[in-house]
A and B are shown apart, each in its own frame.
Chain A
Amino acid sequence: MNLIEHSRRMKQVEVLGINLLRLITLITAVPVIGIIIFILIRGLPAISWEFLSQMPRDGMRAGGIFPAIIGTVYLTLGTAIFSVPLGVAAGIYLAEYASDNTATRLIRIAIINLAGIPSVVYGLFGLGLFVLFLRLGTSILAASLTLSIMTLPVIISTTEEALRSVPNAFRVVSTSLGGTRWQTTWRITLPQAMPGVITGIILGLERAAGETAPILFTGAAFFLPRLPASPMDATMALPYHIFVISTSVPGMPLEIQYGTVLVLLVFVLGMNLLATLIRNRARARRQW
């Protein structure tokens, strides 16, 4: 049989196949770029100082989106207050303290499950535990607590990973100089792992900032005439505001809709960019 012809055929299949994969990759990547450029073009005309800094008017059909922006900031900070200490501590436990036994395996299974639970189920849980059982009402506090449990798995896993990537020699030296486990972690390992930990925190909070379903019944308000005065008040938030103005307000000017989407996108992608920058800078500087 003609070996040369066979190998030529195989070569043709390969060229064809690779081109097909190129096309597929293009189909995957192009919408992302398209979406961002499209929202930039349609949203930019709406952006002005008034739009960012004023209250909505005329049933939200005019004026600004300030309460939604400040609400998302509050919720993100509120989420950070609970999820950062707890998540980082849990990551430290898994990386530096835990031995490989059944209990640790159970913890890992629990984290995997937390990461997979649908966001709307977190909303139900927050309603059941925080809003009703603990009587926090629909409030910034209840919504932040709900979001922080949803954010935990991301922060725990990235913290653990960052700590594990610190070479063991650091721990050995510290221990041999008489450092206890906590001293070693706090003074040596954690500072070395800090960029990775911070990257994980930002990525977790980014997700919390963009989520709608968990805050639907725990703290988000359709419209508020004033800014929230305490953590016990409900608040407007950018993601929920987008949902409201694109589905429930008839005659909503398109410009305001695209403008609001652009603001959320800048907020979320800005956090993403920050995380990437911190990671890359740390990688370039790292001496081990």
Chain B
Amino acid sequence: MKAKQSALTEGIINSLIKLAGYSSIVFVLLILIFLAREGLPALNDVPLKDLFGSRWYPIEHYFGILPLISGSLLVTVGAILIAIPLGIGTAVFLSEFSPVWLRNLLKPIIEILAGLPSVVLGFLGIQIVAPFFRRFFDLPTGLTAFTGAVLLALISLPTIVSIAEDALNTVPPAYRQGALALGATNWQTAWGVTVPAARSGLLTALMLGIGRSIGETMAVMMVTGNAPVLPSGLNALFMPARTMTATIASEMGEVATGSPHYHVLFFIGIILFLISLVVNLTASSLTLRSRKRAERLLS
């Protein structure tokens, strides 16, 4: 009798656990459904040509999202250009050259950076970084795409460093020993053997860094000056810009539910969702491929 009852309880518990296991799929689908439900009507409200137009001025019903997409791209590209040398360089130093005590000291510090809320970095951007750049570059305002890019680089650095370092650490020691035995210096071994062997992991780090940058909201909204203009040249980096994320965050609070403006903001959400989907799937397939390759090589 007792055994029967506990078998029943166990059956219930097991199904609950299974249900929880599948919940992630349900949530991704729910997110997709609700973004589509509120966002796709935008295609009805605004002609496609205008939606991908170059003027964002919602009060007069201009819903061209091109300036917002290009704003996001501008800031993200800037951030990645700053973060690649810093992130990969730090990862190579920590995994290949750093003494153990220094690595044990630096890794938690970089982890702390990952834990800093983006609103805190945005606040420091307003207080410190923007005024500094305004004076340094002699600009009318420090709230520019460049300031946003610098903060985004800082935000994506921990992601890049920790994933790149993991990738370098998984390179089998035999690779390094082989190179050293052939007379290569540590430096040549690091850049000629270890880094190329870890390249798909490094690419993953890069992809996830890009993902973090493009999706970051608060810090960017606070320091980029929020001007939805189409960048015209390289100097656009030193002018105010406006990203997709910042537009949603700053305008959603003021729109009427169900209005064209509301639908378009959700439509931008769909675009962001799709970008993050592509970025993350690419990143995870890269890691998977490299793991298979390593297994093949070492078997």
B93 touches A257 (CB 8 A): no
Does chain B have a CB within 8 A of A242?
A: yes
Which chain B residue lies CB-closest to A207?
B115
A211 CA to B128 CA, complexed, in Å: 22
Does chain B have a CB within 8 A of A191?
A: no
B17 touches A29 (CB 8 A): no
A156 CA to B27 CA, complexed, in Å: 14
> B272 — which chain A residues lie within 8 A by C-beta?
118, 120-121
Of the candidates B27, B93, B279, B283, the one whose C-beta lies within 8 Å of that of A149 is: B27
Does chain B have a CB within 8 A of A46?
A: no
> A38 — which chain B residues lie within 8 A by C-beta?
124, 128
Which residues, 165 to 223 on B, are CB-close (under 8 Å) to A? 185-188, 208, 211, 214-218, 222
Asked whether A153 and B24 contact (CB < 8 A) given A243-B122, A261-B120, the answer is yes
Q: Number of contact residues on A: which range applies?
A: 35 or more
- B residues with CB within 8 A of A: 10, 13-14, 16-18, 20-25, 27-28, 30-31, 34-35, 37-38, 85-87, 89-90, 92-94, 97-98, 106, 108-113, 115-124, 126-128, 154, 157, 161, 185-188, 208, 211, 214-218, 222, 245, 248-249, 252-253, 257, 265-266, 269, 272-273, 276-277, 279-281, 283-284
A35 touches B116 (CB 8 A): yes
A257 CA to B211 CA, complexed, in Å: 30
Asked whether A14 and B187 contact (CB < 8 A) given A97-B18, A112-B284, the answer is yes
Q: Closest CB-CB distance, A27 to chain B, in whole Å?
A: 6
A97 touches B14 (CB 8 A): yes
> A93 — which chain B residues lie within 8 A by C-beta?
17-18, 20-21
A93 CA to B24 CA, complexed, in Å: 12
A261 touches B123 (CB 8 A): yes
Show 25 A/B contacts (Cβ-Cβ < 8 Å), sorted by A. A10-B187, A10-B188, A11-B185, A21-B92, A24-B93, A29-B106, A29-B109, A29-B110, A38-B128, A93-B17, A97-B17, A103-B22, A117-B215, A118-B245, A120-B248, A120-B249, A121-B276, A124-B38, A125-B30, A125-B35, A128-B35, A153-B24, A182-B10, A212-B118, A276-B108
Does chain B have a CB within 8 A of A176?
A: no
A33 CA to B266 CA, complexed, in Å: 38
A176 CA to B126 CA, complexed, in Å: 62
B218 touches A212 (CB 8 A): yes
Q: Closest CB-CB distance, A37 to chain B, in whole Å?
A: 12
Given contacts A117-B31, A124-B35, 13 further A-B contacts (CB under 8 A): A10-B187, A21-B93, A24-B89, A86-B23, A90-B21, A97-B14, A103-B22, A113-B280, A120-B217, A206-B115, A213-B249, A246-B222, A264-B119
> B248 — which chain A residues lie within 8 A by C-beta?
120, 123-124
Binding stretch for chain B, among A53-61, A163-171, A228-236, A265-273? A265-273
Does chain B have a CB within 8 A of A31?
A: yes
Asked whether A246 and B186 contact (CB < 8 A) given A90-B23, A120-B215, A153-B24, the answer is no
Q: Closest CB-CB distance, A69 to chain B, in whole Å?
A: 14
Asked whether A128 and B38 contact (CB < 8 A) given A110-B24, A217-B253, A247-B222, the answer is yes
Which chain A residue lies CB-closest to B97?
A18
Does chain B have a CB within 8 A of A62?
A: no
> B277 — which chain A residues lie within 8 A by C-beta?
113, 116
> A183 — which chain B residues lie within 8 A by C-beta?
10
Does chain B have a CB within 8 A of A135?
A: no
Q: Closest CB-CB distance, A151 to chain B, in whole Å?
A: 12
A243 CA to B273 CA, complexed, in Å: 24
Main secondary structure of the interface of B (DSSP, over half): helix
> B280 — which chain A residues lie within 8 A by C-beta?
112-113, 115-116
Of the candidates B17, B185, B249, B279, the one whose C-beta lies within 8 Å of that of A10 is: B185
Of the candidates A92, A216, A242, A254, the one whose C-beta lies within 8 Å of that of B249 is: A216
A27 CA to B153 CA, complexed, in Å: 12
B18 touches A110 (CB 8 A): no
Of the candidates A25, A117, A207, the one whose C-beta lies within 8 Å of that of B90 is: A25
A192 CA to B164 CA, complexed, in Å: 30
Q: Closest CB-CB distance, B112 to chain A, in whole Å?
A: 6
Which chain B residue lies CB-closest to A247?
B222
A212 touches B117 (CB 8 A): yes
Q: Closest CB-CB distance, B199 to chain A, in whole Å?
A: 18
A107 touches B25 (CB 8 A): yes
Q: Closest CB-CB distance, A22 to chain B, in whole Å?
A: 7
B123 touches A86 (CB 8 A): no
A24 CA to B98 CA, complexed, in Å: 12
Of the candidates A32, A109, A133, A182, the one whose C-beta lies within 8 Å of that of B109 is: A32
B115 touches A269 (CB 8 A): yes
A217 CA to B255 CA, complexed, in Å: 11
A120 touches B266 (CB 8 A): no
A17 touches B187 (CB 8 A): yes
A85 CA to B281 CA, complexed, in Å: 27
B28 touches A114 (CB 8 A): yes
A32 CA to B108 CA, complexed, in Å: 11
A35 CA to B208 CA, complexed, in Å: 24
